[in-house]
């Protein structure tokens, strides 16, 4: 009886509390134009890289044909600078007719024909950050209906050119308006990033109710300094941030910039590893037409994707930071497995780090199997008290996937006739 009461309360709480679209039970994955392609609208001199339907069709082709889609990268997302500078005579947003001659509806159809989803960008305010038409409070319902009529699957809603009280009204209004369209449109809210990303200015309980993901902090740029700044901000505020994430509601440390110009090989591996541990949305912003095999391999690492997509949806955290500038990060995963990342913020040389699982407060079960996620190296029978050493390159990472030794035995036993 007691049990029944508890589960009923849980069901009621879930119905009343979550954004009612059932989307993004695991972190969303896909591609987003902004970091790599910005507001390049010069299609006459740079036709391949300007914000145009061609760019998004090219990326949809690559996602569908180069193995990305099968791994879960399914969103093709437009960012700022897609719209015409004026709304049409009915007050509706329209795509720039030169750069999107077929219109967004046709682009959505194209993307859907590839088995992918289309995301679009709007801004709660008088203008977008790039100076294109924004969405004022009285235009919210119209714009939600317009996006739905085009067959859009996700909206990133930015917050330039509006104040805090407009945002406090507008974000819940847009969430409701998207739901009211009857189309499942995932909702990405930039709201917290405008309010400093922390309580009491930011109400994460409310955000979890109205948004599927939210940007907490600064924009990412194409540099290690930027990535590192973001990682440090998330570890500094992990006590607040870790518990607000879960299925359908994710903290968003911004795009993956792997495949661009600013990160070394080690740094690229570190961004992917930490984004996996943080249960972060995996939106690449790079040129999939010209990405190296090495960078693709990082972004397509199946085990890291599996860690990122773990169904429990628990965000990981930094569990230790030594004076040696080595950080240990951990994410609890389903089926008594876990991911450990040893991340170096050193700038000298490969560092030999010796520890034991028990020193990291991992005490049960007594014995683990360990899989080194990037090298593929496997070690069985690691007892929690046994010391082991990992070698971590400067600004690099070693990621270990731990699973109970017994689970392996069980799978083998099951296979026997």
Q: Is 192 in the site for ligand GAL (CB under 6 A)?
A: no
CB 194 within 8 A of CB 216: no
Asked whether position 129 contacts ligand GAL by CB under 6 A, the answer is yes
Instruction: Select 64 or 189, whichever has its Cβ closest to ligand GAL.
Output: 189
> Measured at CB, which residue is nearest to ligand GAL?
129
Residue 40 Cα to chain centre, angstroms: 24
177 makes contact with ligand GAL (CB under 6 A): no
CB nearer to ligand GAL: pick between 127 and 403: 127
CA distances for 415 relative to 272, 403, 409, 411, angstroms: 34, 19, 10, 6
96 part of the active site: no
Is residue 248 a contact point for ligand GAL (CB under 6 A)?
no
Q: How far is the CB of 252 from ligand GAL (least distance, A)?
A: 10
290 contacts 48 by C-beta, under 8 angstroms: no
Structure tokens at 282: 């995996």
Among the listed ranges 47-55, 127-135, 241-249, 343-351, the one in contact with ligand GAL (CB under 6 A) is 127-135
| 339-350 as b/e: b if 16+ CB within 10 A | bbbbbbbbeeee
Nearest approach, Cβ of residue 390 and ligand GAL (Å): 34
Catalytic residue among 80, 158, 252, 310: 158
Task: Confirm or reject binding of residue 299 to ligand GAL (CB under 6 A).
Answer: no
Q: Which is nearer to ligand GAL, 143 or 158 (CB)?
A: 158
79 binds ligand GAL (CB under 6 A): yes
Shortest spacing between CB 175 and ligand GAL, in angstroms:
19
Pairing between β-strand 213-215 and β-strand 186-189 as defined by DSSP bridges = parallel
Residue 115, by phi and psi: left (phi above 0), alpha (psi -120 to 50) or beta?
left
User: Where would I find the H helices in 181-264?
Assistant: 191-194, 204-210, 224-236, 238-241
**Cis-peptide, bond into residue 365, ω within 30° of zero:** yes
Per CB under 6 A, 80 contacts ligand GAL: yes
Contact window for ligand GAL (CB under 6 A) among 58-66, 124-132, 280-288, 331-339: 124-132
Other C-beta atoms closer than 10 Å to the C-beta of 373 total: 24
Backbone conformation region of residue 293, classed left if phi is above 0, alpha if psi is from -120 to 50, else beta = alpha
In the bound complex, what is the minimum distance in angstroms from residue 310's beta carbon to ligand GAL? 26
Round to whole Å and give the CA distance between 163 and 287.
34
In the set 20, 58, 218, 219, the catalytic residue is: 219
Q: How far is the CB of 333 from ligand GAL (least distance, A)?
A: 29
260: tokens are 């661009």
Number of H helices, E strands in the chain: 15, 16
CA distance 143 to 159: 15
User: How far is the C-alpha of 263 from the C-alpha of 274, rounded, in Å?
Assistant: 14
Instruction: Kindly tell me which residue out of 74, 153, 158, 252 binds ligand GAL, with binding defined by CB under 6 A.
Output: 158
Reply yes or no on whether 252 is catalytic: no
Q: In angstroms, what is the minimal distance from the CB of 166 to ligand GAL?
A: 16
Contacting ligand GAL (CB under 6 A), which of 31, 34, 82, 157? 34
Count residues near ligand GAL (CB under 6 A). 10
Strands (E), 238-337: 250-252, 282-284, 317-321, 326-332
Alpha carbon distance 15, 179 (integer Å): 14
- Segment 327-366, which members bind ligand GAL (CB under 6 A)? none
Q: Does 219 bind ligand GAL (CB under 6 A)?
A: yes
If the CB atoms of residues 160 and 173 are measured against ligand GAL, the closer one turns out to be: 160
How near is the Cβ of 80 to ligand GAL at its closest, in Å? 3
Q: Which of 26, 190, 212, 260 binds ligand GAL (CB under 6 A)?
A: 190
In the complex, least distance from residue 56 CB atom to ligand GAL, rounded to whole angstroms: 15
Binding window for ligand GAL (CB under 6 A); candidates: 53-61, 64-72, 122-130, 228-236: 122-130
Which sequence positions are flagged as catalytic?
A: 158, 219
Report the interface residues with ligand GAL, using CB under 6 A: 34, 79-80, 128-130, 158, 160, 190, 219
């Amino acid at each position: 009886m007691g049990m029944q009461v508890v589960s009923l309360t849980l069901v009621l709480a879930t119905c009343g509390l979550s954004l009612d679209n059932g989307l993004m039970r695991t972190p969303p994955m896909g591609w987003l134009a902004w970091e790599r392609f910005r507001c390049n609208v010069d299609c006459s001199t740079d036709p391949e890289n300007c914000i145009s339907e061609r760019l998004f069709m090219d990326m949809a082709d690559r996602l569908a044909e180069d193995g990305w889609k099968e791994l879960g990268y399914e969103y093709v997302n437009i960012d700022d600078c897609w719209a015409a500078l004026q709304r049409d005579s009915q007050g509706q947003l329209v795509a720039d007719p030169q750069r999107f001659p077929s219109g967004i509806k046709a682009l959505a159809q194209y993307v859907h024909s590839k088995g992918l989803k289309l995301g679009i960008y709007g801004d709660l305010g008088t203008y977008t950050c790039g100076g294109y038409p924004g969405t004022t409070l009285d235009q919210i319902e119209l714009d939600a209906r317009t996006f739905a009529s085009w067959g859009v699957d996700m909206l990133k809603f930015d917050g330039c050119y509006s104040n805090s009280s407009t945002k406090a009204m507008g974000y819940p209004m847009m969430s409701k308006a998207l739901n009211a369209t009857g189309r499942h449109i995932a909702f990405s809210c930039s709201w917290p990033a405008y309010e400093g990303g922390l309580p009491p200015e930011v109400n994460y309980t409310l955000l979890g109710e109205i948004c599927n993901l939210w940007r907490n902090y600064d924009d990412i740029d194409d540099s290690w300094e930027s990535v590192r700044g973001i990682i440090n901000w998330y570890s500094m505020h992990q006590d607040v941030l870790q518990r607000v994430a879960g299925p359908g509601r994710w903290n968003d440390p911004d795009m993956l910039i792997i495949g661009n110009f600013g990160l070394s090989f080690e740094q690229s591996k570190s961004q992917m590893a930490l984004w996996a541990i943080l249960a972060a949305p995996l939106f690449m912003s790079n040129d999939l037409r010209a990405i190296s095999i090495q960078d693709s391999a990082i972004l397509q690492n199946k085990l890291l994707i599996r860690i990122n997509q773990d169904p429990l949806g628990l965000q990981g955290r930094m569990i230790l930071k030594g004076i040696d500038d080595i950080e240990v990060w951990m994410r609890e995963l389903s089926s008594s497995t876990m991911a450990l990342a040893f991340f170096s913020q050193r700038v000298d040389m490969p560092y030999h780090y010796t520890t034991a699982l028990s020193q990291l407060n991992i005490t049960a079960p007594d014995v683990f199997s360990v899989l080194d996620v990037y090298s593929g190296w496997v070690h069985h029978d690691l007892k929690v008290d046994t010391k082991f050493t990992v070698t971590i390159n400067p600004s690099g990472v070693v990621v270990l996937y731990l699973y109970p030794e017994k689970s392996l035995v069980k799978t083998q036993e099951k296979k026997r006739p």
